A and B are shown apart, each in its own frame.
Chain A
Amino acid sequence: MKAESSPVLNIGIFAVFVVITLVVVFRVSRGPKTATDFFTAGRAFTGRQNGIAIAGDYLSAAAFLGITGAIAVYGYDGFLYSIGFLVAWLVALLLVAELLRNTGRFTMADVLSFRMEQGPVRTAAAISTLAVTFFYLLAQMNGAGGLVALLLGVTGEVGQAVVVSVVGVLMIVYVLVGGMKGTTWVQIIKAVMLIAGALVMCAWVLARYDFDFSALLGRAADRGGDAMLAPGKQYGATSLSRVDFLSLGLTLVLGTAGLPHVLMRFYTVPSAREARRSVLWAIGLIGGFLLMTTVLGYGAAALVGADRITSAPGKANSAVPLLALELGGPVLLGLIAAVAFATILAVVAGLTITASASFAHDVYLNVVKKNSPAAVASQVKVARWAAVLIGLVSIAGGIATNGQNVAFLVALAFAVAASANLPTILFSLFWKRFTTAGALWSIYGGLGTTLVLIVFSPVVSGATTSILPAADFSWFPLSNPGLVSIPLSFLLGYLGTVLSTEPADHAKYVEMEVRALTGAGAERATGEPA
């Protein structure tokens, strides 16, 4: 592929994206910034803008390259990911988005600690937020290294380290200069590019088969076997792998509504009604995009073939670039490569602002400084420093793990979100008796179980595909811990509550419920009268 692709063209198109986003970020970010401006863009985005930004935040390179590649190689089993990825948004729409928007201000911990003891619950929620965002961030930065090898032909370690550093520095600049407003615009621009790119390729693939989807499937099945059209090729091998898939399915559908960077986006709109519109737009765009990746995946299987994809550098991830090259030559490949890079940049910027907000607002302001007025004024400064630090750590992490397969980190982030965050969010919003002890048991229990089970799973040791293939200390058979950790976390939240000696704070519960459902007292957009 390297012989036919043009690294200069690819880098050139990507550079245009970087210049455009930097201009936009600098232009939208003039003037001084309060915490509301920095963390929530003054809550002034419309539901539609925020919905597009959510799609930009959620559709990572893993979704674009990974799901398409999985369909191209494994057929139907890749399609299964898409469905969990989309259906999960109904959890956010029906149970979380609006109530969270009305009760919190900047972070997930605002809601979790609302009627609990501030110190311990905020600390726990911040630890879980930082864990999820860090795993996700590391996966993206590591992916950036792999992507340059694939798209630009940069295979040297130094060259890849330079690219990872450039991605990290750009992400820091977006967050420092633009805050949430700049980051959101980067995500909007990227989402439009990504969806437009997928749309063009999708139409192109279908046109090759006279817009007959069945003929496309037939060609994919001719090359890859009838197993392409039905489940089982990847997960059907043993009864253990089937249980593992069930675990993954549960994690995907319950993880999304517990991802802190997704939750934080609901604070960027002026009302619960706009938060609802955000999710509706997100569902439409994400659903449409995932349907297109299905066409692209089968298109790559039909036009490129699984054998050529798996023997290319980057394996399944090279399905989209190879398909682009097949359809439109080096120019289309250059455009798609730029889109893939833009995708990584927008996602890491969103993660960084979420982690820095949690550090500054939860850990620094509310736990360390006990909400003192002086600290209120300096939380944005702390958040900026935190963003720089997080950026540098993730650059180092991306370089250190370069060449290793850390794709499991995305699944791990979802597993922690589904186990440590979602049960606590639901109990907090809907269960009157839920107490501080219940929240702590559920967050630490969910987080701890997930991490322990991953460490002692075949992901880390005991199999040829493990991180440490030579060692074997695994005793947990599943690669996805969700099937155990999610129910356990719900159970721990329940037990912690019924066994705690302190009753729930009834007055706070009453206040939270009235705020959540009516929107009374909720923060408006900056400058808008109450």
Chain B
Amino acid sequence: MDDAVTTTTTAADWGAVHSRPDFAELRRAQRRFAFPVAALFLAWYLLYVLLADFAHGFMATKLFGNVTTGLVLGLLQFVSTFAIAGLYSRYANNTLDPLAERIRSRTELDRP
């Protein structure tokens, strides 16, 4: 039955993994990327919203042809979103996944 909880892992087992240095390293690595980048893209998004909201003249400046500053900054939001997603993917594949893999293979947690 897939709903039965069949794990025999105890609180002590989880605690043992939690106090391993490589687990501390994994947690640090995850937060080191996620927190600053989240703060960065939220700040950049808020800056953009505030400009769109209160700096109409600036956003209406035509840069080339009929393309305004507002449109360029809006498209840059798309570009930065794609770029951050790509960078995170590479970071997670190269740094986070191997760390998590190593911890799982060196501990008994996966086995029920």
Q: Which residues of A contact B (CB under 8 A)?
A: 34-36, 76, 79-80, 82-84, 86-87, 89-91, 93-95, 98, 213-215, 217-218, 221, 226, 229-232, 235-236, 242, 245-246, 249-250, 253, 273, 276, 279-280, 283-284, 287, 290-291, 373, 376-377, 379, 430, 507, 510-511, 513-515, 517-521, 526, 530
Q: How far is the CB of A208 from chain B (nearest CB, A)?
A: 16
* Given A226-B60, A283-B85, A521-B9, also A217-B67 (CB < 8 A): yes
Majority secondary structure of chain A interface residues (helix, strand, loop or mixed): helix
Within 8 A of A (CB), among B10-36: 11, 14-15, 17-18, 23, 26-27, 30-31, 33-34
B89 interface residue (CB < 8 Å to A):
yes
Majority secondary structure of chain B interface residues (helix, strand, loop or mixed): helix
Q: How far is the CB of A401 from chain B (nearest CB, A)?
A: 31
Inter-subunit contact A287/B54 (CB<8 Å): no
Inter-subunit contact A90/B41 (CB<8 Å): yes
The contact sample of 12 A-B pairs, CB cut-off 8 A, is A36-B2, A86-B78, A90-B38, A93-B88, A94-B38, A94-B88, A217-B66, A373-B4, A510-B18, A520-B103, A526-B2, A530-B111
| A-side contacts of B27, CB under 8 Å | 513, 517
A231 to B68, CA, bound (A): 10
Closest 4 CB pairs of A and B: A214-B65, A230-B60, A520-B109, A217-B66
A528 to B41, CA, bound (A): 38
Q: Which residues of B contact A (CB under 8 A)?
A: 1-4, 7, 9, 11, 14-15, 17-18, 23, 26-27, 30-31, 33-34, 37-38, 41-42, 45-46, 48-50, 52-54, 56, 59-60, 62, 64-68, 70-71, 74, 77-78, 81-82, 84-86, 88-89, 92, 97, 100, 103-104, 107, 109-112
| B-side contacts of A507, CB under 8 Å | 11, 14-15
Inter-subunit contact A86/B110 (CB<8 Å): no
* Given A510-B18, A517-B26, also A530-B71 (CB < 8 A): no
Inter-subunit contact B70/A83 (CB<8 Å): no
| B-side contacts of A34, CB under 8 Å | 1-3
A245 to B45, CA, bound (A): 13
Inter-subunit contact A273/B70 (CB<8 Å): no
Inter-subunit contact B104/A518 (CB<8 Å): yes
Pick from A86, A215, A246: contact of B81, CB under 8 Å = A86
| A-side contacts of B68, CB under 8 Å | 76, 229-230
Inter-subunit contact B53/A376 (CB<8 Å): no
| B-side contacts of A79, CB under 8 Å | 71, 74
- For A254, the closest partner residue in chain B by CB is B42
